[in-house]
Amino acid sequence: MTNKIDNDSQLSIVNYQLNICIVGVGLIGGSFALTAKQKGIAKHIIGVCNREETKQKVLELELVDEVLPLEEAIKKSDLIYVAIPVDITVSVMQTIMDLVNDKQIVVDAGSTKFVLCEALKNHPMRKRFVATHPMWGTEYSGPEAAVKDAFIGRACVICEKNKSDEQAVAIVENIYKELGMHLVYMESEAHDMHAAYVSHISHITSFALANTVLEKEKEEDAIFELAGGGFESTVRLAKSNPAMWAPIFMQNRENVLDVLNEHISQLRKFKSALEKENLNYLNELMENANKIKRILK
């Protein structure tokens, strides 16, 4: 293992030329790999893949330079980047943390943070772990979904910063900045609550909206000739991978239920306005919703 990252006098990532191991070379891991190589953050990228066909695929797509088993990959890496479904992350991360030394950095990119941070809080190497959530994604998954220039302009949350080694955090911060992200700091509980509002609920409403329309389609085929732009944008997340999202919803169950209850109650207000033919109330609800312009450009 190279020891470039213990030279803390120079934090410009371009000089690091790190050996990076990507555990889970899919949408997030693959996009991270592509950009890290392109930006000169990574000198050498090792992929760790579960399935035989994925190993072939990630090499063909040139997302990584080589594919190795986890233990071997870790030995050769300065930084280990974990981007697998959040339920598997908890156990895989335990294995990884048991293998790293005090010069290596472990980063995860999962959409939930509390369960993982809790699981690792007493690990002797806890300080080598930086908990992050780069808030970018698409409805696609797997190595074919990886794209260059992902992450740009999006927020990356770093959780429980004070539990990680200062220099490890600084390096991870610099990497995400190089990728074009702005950083937000939160405790893991706060992250999970916010993520429920700005990401998890959007996926649930999309899934539910798709099911609403598909339910009707049993009776009527014509619907599909009409699907236009507005429909596409509200329903596209319904194409997302259940293997990725079910564990997120389960780990963040309480927050997601809170938001889901609030959302159902907001929908009921529209229902009530329509049932009572209350045009003023309907307008009031929509005018309030228009305030979202403050946030969306």
Binding residues for a copy of itself restricted to 112-151, rule: CB under 8 A: 135-138
CA–CA gap between residue 45 and residue 146 (Å, rounded): 15
Q: Which stretch binds a copy of itself (CB under 8 A): 2-10, 51-59, 74-82, 178-186?
A: 178-186
Q: Which stretch binds a copy of itself (CB under 8 A): 18-26, 93-101, 117-125, 207-215?
A: 207-215
Identity of the residue numbered 146: A
3-state helix, strand, coil in the chain (%, to 5): 55, 15, 30
Q: How far is the CB of 109 from a copy of itself (least distance, A)?
A: 14
Q: Which stretch binds a copy of itself (CB under 8 A): 61-69, 121-129, 163-171, 280-288?
A: 280-288
Identity of the residue numbered 3: N
Paired sense of beta strands 79-82 and 66-67, if any: unpaired
When asked if residue 218 is in the footprint of a copy of itself (CB under 8 A), the reply is no
When asked if residue 293 is in the footprint of a copy of itself (CB under 8 A), the reply is yes
Q: How far is the CB of 46 from a copy of itself (least distance, A)?
A: 28
DSSP H helices, the chain, are 27-38, 52-60, 70-75, 86-99, 114-120, 166-178, 188-195, 201-217, 223-226, 229-235, 242-251, 253-275, 279-290
When asked if residue 279 is in the footprint of a copy of itself (CB under 8 A), the reply is yes
Q: Which stretch binds a copy of itself (CB under 8 A): 2-10, 51-59, 119-127, 218-226?
A: 218-226
When asked if residue 198 is in the footprint of a copy of itself (CB under 8 A), the reply is yes
What is the size of the binding site for a copy of itself (CB under 8 A)?
91
Question: By C-alpha distance, which of 27, 35, 25, 16 is closest to 55?
Answer: 25
When asked if residue 152 is in the footprint of a copy of itself (CB under 8 A), the reply is no
**Site of tokens 């706060």:** 190
